A and B are shown apart, each in its own frame.
Chain A
Amino acid sequence: MRGQAAIMDALIFMLVASGAATLLLFVAGIYSSSTTTQINTIYNYEYGGNALIALHYAKDVQGKWFWNELEKKLTTTNQADVEAYLDGDARFVWQNITSSSPAGQNTTLCFEGAGLTTPCYPFNKPEPVSTTVYTSSVKITPDIDVIIKLYY
């Protein structure tokens, strides 16, 4: 009977060791994932902030300051004017935003407080369905905020 008891003890030890090993592997699997997510979040916010800073220096194809022209169009609260401008003279500005954005085509430029019926450009595209959205904003008039949104 002594041998059988020893085997049982060994099997219980094996069970405990397996449990401990499983716990270690589980912890190793999830370790740093939230930190990595936070660092990626920081990158996305930095991208958005830097993009808005860069837009302060952008000019359209007519050589006019992008921000000033956009402000003029937005204060008219005419969505068609804003769309025509972003699709026309400032098209390459938008192309630069989407080509550089880590979210690619899932990037939108929203104009809060401008009274547009659809606040986010591209106006004809439905808002991406996403659980994670990173936003950076800048006030271009006391009433209007321009918000860059990155959807993941």
Chain B
Amino acid sequence: MKKGFIGPIGDDLPSIIALMLAMGLFFSSVVYVINVYNQKIADMDMLKGSIEIGRAVMDKGVLTRDDLDSNPNADYVAKSYNLNYDVYLESDTNSCSMESLRFSYLVAMNDAGKIELHTMMLCTWKG
């Protein structure tokens, strides 16, 4: 055997290591970027859906307690974006969960014929 000869791929071994490293780096960044892309798309959809839910809730101008408890239009929008949502007045004791998006609106509430201004909170989270 020739001195220093370590097999048929011996000469190529250093370049193979560099090639493997390069491919590892590239493909791991591709996988990472795909994950980031999917996450960003999901976040954007959530944000867009939340605003559309807010628009559906605020559609009537003056809201009642019933509108906060149940709103078919907002339910439909939430379902189409695969989101859950909750609306409540800031003066109530509710609060959004930590992982939800929060949006505030100034609303006119009709409470038994008396119209008052309130801060309405809209919380959305993934369904």
Distance between A94 CB and nearest chain B CB, rounded to angstroms: 10
Minimum C-beta distance from B91 to chain A (A): 10
How many residues on chain B are close to A (CB under 8 Å)? Answer: 44
CB-defined interface of A88-125 with B at 8 Å, one 1/0 digit per residue? 00001100110111100000000000000000000000
Alpha-carbon distance A10/B19, docked complex (angstroms): 5
Contact with A along B84-127 (1 / 0, CB 8 A): 00000010000000000001111110000001111110000000
Most buried by A among B29, B48, B116, B118: B29
Task: Give the secondary structure class of A's interface.
Answer: helix
Complex contact B26–A96 (CB within 8 A): no
Docked Cα-Cα span, A13 to B105, in Å, equals 55
Please tell me if the beta carbons of A99 and B29 are within 8 angstroms of each other in the complex.
no
A residues touching B (Cβ–Cβ < 8 Å)?
2-3, 6-7, 9-11, 13-14, 16-18, 20-21, 24-25, 27-28, 31-32, 35-36, 39-40, 42-43, 46-47, 50-51, 53-59, 92-93, 96-97, 99-102
Say yes or no: A13-B117 contact (C-beta < 8 A), given A21-B29, A25-B33. no
Task: Indicate if the CB atoms of A39 and B104 lie closer than 8 Å.
Answer: no
Residue from A17, A25, A36, A42 with most neighbouring chain B CB atoms (10 Å): A17
Contacts of A47 in B (CB 8 A): 103-106
Given contacts A28-B32, A43-B51, A100-B120, contact A53 B22 (CB under 8 A): no
A120 to B87 CA separation, bound complex (whole angstroms): 31
Minimum CB distance partner of A59 in chain B: B115
Chain A residues with CB below 8 A from B17, complex form:
10
- Name the distance in Å between B100's Cβ and chain A's nearest Cβ: 15
* Distance of A35 Cα from B51 Cα, bound (Å): 14
Q: How many A-B residue pairs have CB under 8 A?
A: 125
A residues in contact with B15, CB < 8 Å: 3, 6-7, 9-10
Cα A97 to Cα B104 in complex, Å, equals 10
- 13 further A-B contacts with Cβ under 8 Å, apart from A13-B22, A36-B47, are A6-B11, A10-B14, A14-B19, A16-B22, A17-B26, A24-B30, A28-B32, A39-B48, A43-B54, A92-B117, A100-B90, A101-B106, A102-B103
Do A3 and B108 have beta carbons less than 8 Å apart? no
Residue among A17, A59, A100 making CB contact with B104, cutoff 8 Å: A100
Q: Tell me whether B51 and A58 are in contact (CB under 8 A).
A: no
Q: How far is the CB of B22 from chain A (nearest CB, A)?
A: 4
A97 touches B25 (CB 8 A): no
Question: A99-B119, A100-B90 known; A35 and B44 CB under 8 Å?
Answer: yes
